[in-house]
Amino acid sequence: MAFTLPALPYAHDALEPHIDTTTMQIHHGKHHQAYVDNLNKAIAGTPNENKSLIDLVKHAGSISPVVRNNGGGHWNHSFFWESLAPNAGGAPSGKLGEAIQSAFGSFDAFKEKFNAAGLGRFGSGWAWLIVKDGKLEISSTPNQDNPLMDIAEVKGSPVLGVDVWEHAYYLKYQNRRAEYLAAFWNVVNWSKASSLYEAAIK
Ligand code: MN
């Protein structure tokens, strides 16, 4: 079964002014669509055609680079759209809020460390908040890799992720990745992150 582009869970302009409309239109409609199309092309007529996306991602080390890159691109972007929401941001409460306090000392210290992971990723990639062995950790992956992949340097269950490819911010922020990362905190969907955290520690 061919993979399809999931609809954005909000309008293209819903994350303004933090993430602009044109970026969302191109990022979702062109970039994410291309990962889906190229993944479908690469698996057509192969045994990978009948595998689930998560199965492909988890076995990234034993699939071709084109399936790894585009399968990762499809998974990562599907996850990213859900990590964002309009009228969101602020600080997380509940179990995730408490776990962030205890793992990083404070919410501000956590944000600083997460931003540093995004800023420190040379070239294209992602920064992640993950659950590893029941504990929160921050990691980063190159290209379209993610922490679920068997080849990831730091493996875990993603709770929150941010795309630091230039295509995610260049139209509005140009080379200023730090400004994009600062704006990202205004649109974080903590309710989604909290449910992922609670599922991961069960
Ligand atoms: Mn992207």
Q: Is 87 left (phi over 0), alpha (psi -120 to 50) or beta?
A: left
- Give the CA angle between residues 7, 186, 88 to the nearest 5°: 60
Mean pLDDT of 8-14: 98
Q: Is the pTM of this model over 0.85?
A: yes
Residue 69: the pLDDT is: 98
Q: Which of 141, 119, 138, 116 is nearest to 129 (CA)?
A: 138
Taking the centre of ligand 1 as the mean of its atom positions, its distance from the CA of residue 202, in whole angstroms, is 30
Residue 1: the pLDDT is: 66
Taking the centre of ligand 1 as the mean of its atom positions, its distance from the CA of residue 193, in whole angstroms, is 19
pLDDT of 58 > 70? The answer is: yes
Taking the centre of ligand 1 as the mean of its atom positions, its distance from the CA of residue 168, in whole angstroms, is 5
Joined tokens for residue 199: 């599922």
Taking the centre of ligand 1 as the mean of its atom positions, its distance from the CA of residue 31, in whole angstroms, is 7
